[in-house]
């Protein structure tokens, strides 16, 4: 099997593609609801700690595995550890990707619905945004139609090819989304009564801490950075030999975190300012977790001139951010089937899309199933595979490979201290912490 693997053309292209995968509904939809559920400031603090201590090292780790293996998530492990069972780490990731798509696509469908409603002006004509969102949730047909459309759209982009499809779209549109969030953030914190929302975000409230907060934070960190399921391994396999893995991992992670925190700054001050009683808002935030974005953001637009225009622009860009993430998720499963089972890419994509559609239909109809997929992937499968990846690099992989990858065969200067610290984190710190978090989160 000597297929020529495509590589990302430009340096900006690879950062943009990886950032496109990372920045998605995870940042703007999932992060605020997890932060609300976790009680705000302390969750955010733990989340950032998880990004720094586990997220960035593991993203580098996935890049190392992908670029030295130069194959899909399972094939890369097989090449680096032939004859061992390590390939199951990659395969676990591929299953995880598939399951994530099964609920993620539903939220992409909601985004589509909101694009249409913004364009038609219907959204801004509603009196109660929470009621409007509730109505959508009660309407499986509409959810299913949009979800299917989004799945087909993703499949289409995958067939258009790695370079053209992913690189081009991500490069131009992500900065625009960022700018809109910035404008929204300013609008949100200048609303009268927004202070309480900012306090909720940045002032720790010890009473509201739950024992699952560590698991929630690490799960969200992995989900948001797209690590722990071979996504970054697959993208790493497309990187050029002179791409700087350390720099890319740091840049992508910082950007991703910035977008998430910015989304928090948009949503919480607005949520507090636009509802009269802070107590009820906190409880409704928690109960309405998944809907936070779809209720608070339109409400915020409602308080701006040209509300429908803003809202259409915002949801279109959110849809594109989501699309670059679904592309990355579907790409992982597709490349695996294509390379390991010698399937045509076209057939592989069709098969994956059909499977995703089935899961998507069930999650549109059953919130329990939706939540189960979300919970199992983010809080169990991603941390578990993060654990295995850190063990793989920390204990199994020859340090020479790690060094060669991080220094691009010695052409970049990397200090021995850095490599030692890096291995130490993946060898001891990350595994011990992840196991600890599991035990604490599940049994206490």
Instruction: Point out which residues bind ligand TRP (CB under 6 A).
Output: 21-22, 24-27, 100, 223-224, 226, 229, 231, 325, 328-329
Closest to ligand TRP by CB, 224 or 402 = 224
Closest to ligand TRP by CB, 98 or 146 = 98
- State in angstroms the smallest separation of the CB of 278 from ligand TRP: 29
Closest to ligand TRP by CB, 281 or 333 = 333
Closest to ligand TRP by CB, 284 or 328 = 328
- State in angstroms the smallest separation of the CB of 259 from ligand TRP: 9
Closest to ligand TRP by CB, 320 or 329 = 329
- State in angstroms the smallest separation of the CB of 15 from ligand TRP: 15
CB 229 within 8 A of CB 381: yes
**CB within 8 A of 287, min separation 6: which ones?**
none
* DSSP states along 86-142: THHHHHHHHHHHHHHHHHHHHHHHHHHHHHHHHHHTTGGG-S-HHHHHHHHHT-HHH
Q: How far apart are CA 159 and CA 410, in angstroms?
A: 36
Closest to ligand TRP by CB, 25 or 201 = 25
Closest to ligand TRP by CB, 80 or 318 = 318
The dihedrals phi and psi of 402, each to the nearest 5 degrees, come to -55, -45
CB 290 within 8 A of CB 65: no
- State in angstroms the smallest separation of the CB of 223 from ligand TRP: 5
Characterize 384-417 residue by residue with b for buried, 16 or more Cβ atoms within 10 angstroms of its Cβ, and e for exposed. bbbbbbbbbbbeebeeeebbebbbbeeeeebeee
CB 198 within 8 A of CB 41: no
Question: Closest by alpha carbon to 169, among 180, 182, 181, 156?
Answer: 156
Fill in the DSSP letter of residue 408: T
- State in angstroms the smallest separation of the CB of 304 from ligand TRP: 25
Closest to ligand TRP by CB, 226 or 253 = 226
- State in angstroms the smallest separation of the CB of 248 from ligand TRP: 15
Q: How far apart are CA 25 and CA 324, in angstroms?
A: 10
Question: Closest by alpha carbon to 274, among 204, 201, 205, 189?
Answer: 189
Q: How far apart are CA 223 and CA 232, in angstroms?
A: 12
């Amino acid at each position: 099997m000597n297929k020529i693997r495509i590589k990302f053309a430009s340096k900006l292209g690879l950062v943009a593609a990886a950032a496109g995968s990372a920045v998605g509904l995870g940042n703007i939809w999932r992060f605020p609801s997890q932060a609300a559920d976790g009680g705000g400031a302390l969750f955010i603090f733990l989340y950032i700690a998880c990004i720094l201590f586990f997220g960035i090292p593991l993203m580098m780790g996935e890049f190392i595995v992908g670029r030295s293996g130069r194959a899909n998530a399972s094939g890369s492990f097989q090449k680096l550890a032939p004859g061992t069972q390590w390939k199951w780490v990659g395969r676990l990731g591929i299953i995880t990707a598939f399951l994530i798509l099964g609920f993620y696509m539903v939220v992409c469908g909601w985004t589509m619905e909101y694009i249409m409603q913004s364009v038609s002006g219907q959204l801004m004509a509603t009196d109660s945004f929470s009621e409007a969102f509730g109505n959508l949730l009660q309407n499986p047909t509409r959810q299913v139609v949009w979800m299917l459309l989004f799945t087909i759209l993703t499949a289409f982009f995958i067939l258009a090819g790695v370079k053209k499809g992913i690189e081009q779209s991500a490069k131009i549109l992500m900065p625009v989304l960022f700018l809109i969030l910035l404008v929204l953030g300013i609008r949100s914190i200048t609303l009268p009564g927004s202070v309480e929302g900012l306090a909720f975000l940045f002032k720790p409230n010890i009473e509201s801490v739950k024992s699952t907060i560590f698991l929630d934070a690490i799960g969200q960190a992995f989900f948001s950075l797209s690590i722990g399921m071979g996504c970054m391994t697959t993208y790493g396999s497309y990187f050029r030999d002179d791409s700087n893995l350390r720099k890319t991992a740091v840049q992508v992670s910082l950007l991703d975190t910035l977008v998430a925190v910015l989304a928090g700054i948009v949503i919480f001050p607005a949520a507090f300012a636009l509802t009269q009683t802070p107590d009820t808002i906190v409880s409704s935030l928690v109960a309405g977790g998944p809907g936070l974005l779809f209720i608070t953001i339109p409400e915020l637009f409602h308080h701006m001139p040209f509300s429908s225009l803003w809202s259409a622009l915002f949801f279109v860009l959110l849809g594109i951010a989501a699309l670059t993430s679904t592309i990355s998720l579907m790409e992982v499963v597709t490349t695996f089937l294509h390379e390991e089972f010698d399937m045509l890419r076209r057939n592989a994509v069709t098969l994956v899309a059909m499977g995703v559609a089935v899961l998507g239909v069930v999650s549109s109809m059953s919130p329990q199933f939706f939540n189960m997929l979300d919970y199992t992937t983010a809080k169990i499968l991603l941390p578990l595979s993060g654990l295995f990846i850190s063990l793989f690099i920390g204990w199994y992989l020859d340090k020479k490979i790690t060094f060669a990858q991080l220094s691009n065969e010695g052409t970049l200067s990397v200090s021995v201290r850095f490599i030692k610290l890096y291995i130490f984190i993946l060898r001891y710190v990350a595994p011990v912490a992840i196991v600890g978090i599991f035990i604490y989160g599940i049994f206490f």
